[in-house]
Chain A
């Protein structure tokens, strides 16, 4: 087979992979789960988008991805700014996507703090206590982002008491190292709501770590109120549950809640169309690199001079 033919095959493989992947890329409809007078929502409160926050997916694509991950609520939290999240929220309102809460991840030299449901950025050079006060003054909530040991010195007893939530489950918990136990230890020190977040930058699965929120009203104000009232449940990699014990019992007994904890995108990726899309896609990409845009001889014309 000539190089030109191999190049054509590579392009054909890529196109076939693209067609199969696009056909299989459908957003499932999330079941409405109501238990004990509350609506149960699957949420991820720590999501980044391109540009400026080390993420690869743009804000519109991020919202589309949230639909496919079966998330009812996401908080878009760019680093130290708001407009990317506000753009995502607007897009979701127009297209009927999940509930998008605008916020920011306050990245300071001493701590990382999620500020959800705010309308103005909070200065990153303030102490964590002052930052939490500034968030509360705007009616928002403050969640300690991946509070591993390196960030503990920033949190004195007063600021820990003021936190609304803390990430007890984060992708750090899936890596080798002490992250898993440190997140749990910080959570046990606090009286904050248990939060599971994926800290999505376009690389990890959005919603890999997620929070079940028990709301009275499926709106931004309802979600913020539920977190303030500590009505959240998180189940970690070992099946250990965090949050209100009564709600944990409800989640354990409810198959619908168990379904909300699973990512439909991960399930969909295991199906044949998606599997063939990635197999053909990887072969096509490798072929495109090996056989290039044109053979070397076609890229120089010394012979024709």
Chain B
């Protein structure tokens, strides 16, 4: 049976043998991955709307724990998962707004596939967690605040923007311009929500500082 599935999926442009997970496949071959996944209805139920956001919140919480105490602890992970879920569930809401009624597959599946594009962000946060977890704190500080964040973060943003464009084209069948417009709306709304949840209380003063320049 497995061999039959392999041969059928590869003939249909399905997952290559090196794609150990959907996340890896989406990161490296987003076009093929999203087109095939969108055309292959999942057997899973509506619960998958929470599957990837929950897994991602857990991963982020693990990284918060490594950064805060250089180990994985239950208390950091429980609290960190709740903090991260605020952001991720807000992003599910933003996706629902941006997708509107033009969805071609069930919303739960749309969310699941969208969150498969978080690989570059996870790799980036994992790399910085590694730095914090293994280097002496005073050495890690020197790396954390230099141009390394700008350069590596810029690469991750560009990579992630590309994956999101591919998501809108492959899964929601948007035109190139339509996908770009949807990604622009999604990122603007998502970052606004992020700013509110994480930094709302100082935002008016920061805006005033920027305007005063």
**Residue on A nearest B122 in the bound complex, by CB:** A289
**Residue on A nearest B37 in the bound complex, by CB:** A300
**Number of A-B residue pairs having CB atoms within 8 Å of each other in the complex:** 224
Q: Which of A51, A53, A61, A299 is close to B76, meaning CB atoms less than 8 Å apart?
A: A61
**Chain B residues with CB below 8 A from A157, complex form:** none
* Cβ contact within 8 Å between B71 and A237: no
* Cβ contact within 8 Å between B76 and A80: no
With A56-B68, A78-B201, A176-B142 known as contacts, the answer to whether A293 contacts B55 (CB < 8 A) is: yes
- Count residues of A near B (Cβ-Cβ below 8 Å): 71
Interface string of B131-156 (1 = CB under 8 A from A): 01110011001101110000000000
With A21-B65, A54-B198, A79-B199 known as contacts, the answer to whether A3 contacts B83 (CB < 8 A) is: no
* Cβ contact within 8 Å between B64 and A202: yes
User: Which of B7-15, B92-100, B162-170, B179-187 sits within the interface?
Assistant: B7-15
**Residue on A nearest B65 in the bound complex, by CB:** A21
* Cβ contact within 8 Å between B37 and A269: no
For window 105-137 of chain A, which residues contact chain B by CB distance below 8 Å? 107-110, 124-125
Interface residues on B, range: 35 or more
Interface string of A255-296 (1 = CB under 8 A from B): 000000000011001000110011001100110111111111
Interface string of A144-181 (1 = CB under 8 A from B): 00000000000000000000000000010011100000
* Cβ contact within 8 Å between A296 and B25: yes
**Chain A residues with CB below 8 A from B129, complex form:** 282, 285
Interface string of B13-48 (1 = CB under 8 A from A): 011000111111100000001001101111110000
- Indicate if A60 sits at the interface (CB-CB under 8 A): yes
* Cβ contact within 8 Å between A302 and B122: no
Q: Which of B37, B66, B72 is close to A299, meaning CB atoms less than 8 Å apart?
A: B37
- Indicate if B62 sits at the interface (CB-CB under 8 A): yes
**Chain A residues with CB below 8 A from B82, complex form:** 58
* Cβ contact within 8 Å between B24 and A292: yes
- Indicate if B212 sits at the interface (CB-CB under 8 A): yes
Query: CA–CA, A273 to B126, complex, Å?
Result: 21
Query: CA–CA, A55 to B23, complex, Å?
Result: 28
Residue among A20, A65, A286, A302 facing the most chain B CB atoms (10 A cut-off) = A302
Known A25-B71, A58-B83, A301-B42; 8 more pairs at CB < 8 Å: A52-B200, A53-B199, A57-B68, A80-B205, A175-B145, A203-B132, A208-B137, A285-B129
**A-B pairs with lowest CB-CB distance, top 5:** A292-B21, A300-B40, A21-B71, A296-B15, A109-B209
